[in-house]
Structure formats: C-alpha cells, structure tokens
Amino acid sequence: MILNRHSFSLLMILTLFTGCSRLSSTLFEEEDWEFIDELTLVATPNMNNKTALKVDVVIVKDERIAEQVGILTARQYMKQRKQLKYDHPQKIKIKSFEMIPGTSIIIPLKYQKTEVAAGFVFADYSNQKANRWNIFSADCVKVELLDYTVRITSHKWKDAPKLKNDKQKKDGIIVLS
C-alpha cells in the first residue's frame, strides 16, 4: 500500500511539472504567435517614375506552393495571380493595391507563424527586374516603394505614436495619405 501511495505521488508531481512547463512556454511565447501584426506600404514621391504602381502582399500557407510563387517575377506573378488564387483559395491570401506616389497605407496581417509558409511583396515596376521580395516574421514591417526598388525594415510598435487623423479606414486597412 505504501508503494502505491509513493507511485501515485510521483505520478502527480510529474503531471504537475509537465503542466507547468506547458503553461510557462505558452505564457512566454504568446506574443510571438503572429507572423506580422501590420505591414506598412510607403510610396515615395519618385516611385516608379512618379506613376502609380500595382503592389501585392501575398501570404502563402503551403511550402510547395510557396516555392512555386517564390520563383516568379512580379510580371509573371501579376499575369498568374487570378489563377493562383483560383487554384489555391485556402492556401494563398492576396492583398492588392495600386499605390500612388506620396501615399502610404497600413495593412493588418493577422496570421499565426505556424500557418504561414512564406510572405512576399510583388511590385510591378516598369523595369526588367524580378521585383519580388520576401517578408519575414516581425511585429511590424515597413515596405518603402522607392524609385525602382523597395527598402524593407521591421520594428516593434511599442513606442510608436497612435494615429490621430485616419483619412480612410476600410476592412482594417488604414490609408495615411
């Protein structure tokens, strides 16, 4: 009978430790669950020879499909995007914009890291380059659309000021200018 009590006590202690480790790992990793909280597109005044630019933010949820999308140039992608979305409606999420020089928008991307195989930005610049960039997990990603390329930076929003005057807000996308 004493052996059974000790075995039971040992089993209870192991169960408690297992539960605590799961709880502590959940508590500490919770803030890292999102792939990207927000992505900001900033069109500089000289972007694309001062003309509008088609830009797509693409989230791919399947590794095999991500490899296929990751080799496309922006021109190839723009021609195939409707078919890609039609063929893989649950595996590819596309947010499309026509950026005008001097404007910017904030795009919420509420995907968990575990569901995202890859993220891309495609910009249909009027040049012969690939114009495809990978985006990686971060609290906030800023994509500056320059003359004929982009500059991508990431940072945390903790110290960023709150937006005071949103000019337009639709479907969670904030147009800043």
pLDDT digits (tens, 9 = 90+) for 91-114: 999 999 999 999 999 998 888 888
User: What's the chain's average pLDDT?
Assistant: 78
C-alpha distances out from residue 81 to 52, 57, 77, 105, 168, Å:
19, 11, 6, 22, 27
DSSP for residue 172? T
Instruction: Report yes or no on whether pTM surpasses 0.75.
Output: no
Interval 104-140: pLDDT, tens:
999 988 888 889 999 999 999 989 899 999 998 887 8
